[in-house]
Amino acid sequence: MSDRTWLGPSSALLVIDVQNDFCPGGALAVPGGDTILPAVNRLIAAADLVVLTQDWHPRKHGSFASVHKGKAPFETIEVSYGAQTLWPDHCVQGTSGAAFHEELLTDRAALIVRKGMRPMVDSYSAFFEDDHATTTGLDGWLRVRGVSRLVCCGLAFDFCVAYSALDARRLGFDVAVAADACAAIDLEGSKAAQSAAMTKAGVKLTTLASLGV
């Protein structure tokens, strides 16, 4: 499949978590998080079908280090569904940090998927919460529209973008990640590790130029 066919019929663009708290000045800023906006917007303008995701946590969410006595951001704890990285409080429902970046072209979005809303379950992926069982409904929404290919971009490359891409592959979609429309946290080598995991799973790591955008 030529890279230039990825944004054609039967495809969708999945824009992950381009929110203020993940951009410079935000509570969980991804280095260079705001620099990807021009690339993301070019993809949005070129895509036939656009889906946005939005972290949307209640206050005192279980993934916040602040609710675990004696724990600090970026430490890991064990929870019912496995290892959980603890984060600074971020993307709290209704706050300016949870809002999309003001430069993001949101008008063309056919759907906004809000995730991480259950108080004690995190949700990196656009398809499943981190218990790997609770779905967001995005899979069915895409299938009834005849979508078989996805292009993913956004924040952060090594967390929510990677988890979404890997889940999409497991669900049977063809998946590409526009790497130059992403930025990474790179927590303890997570960027390289997730790049390898996505490649092994059959996710195509590509660029805007290769996509013809």
CB atoms within 10 A of CB 64: 21
Q: Is 60 a catalytic residue?
A: no
Q: Is 17 a catalytic residue?
A: yes
Catalytic pick among 3, 17, 55, 139: 17
Contact 123, 129 (CB under 8 A): yes
Catalytic pick among 89, 115, 182, 204: 115
Catalytic pick among 23, 91, 153, 160: 160
Task: Tally DSSP H helices, then E strands, for the chain.
Answer: 5, 8
Q: Is 160 a catalytic residue?
A: yes
Residues 6 or more apart whose Cβ sits within 8 Å of residue 34: 23, 24, 101, 103
Contact 131, 121 (CB under 8 A): yes
Task: Report the alpha-carbon angle 162-82-132, nearest 5.
Answer: 55
Q: List the catalytic residues.
A: 17, 115, 160
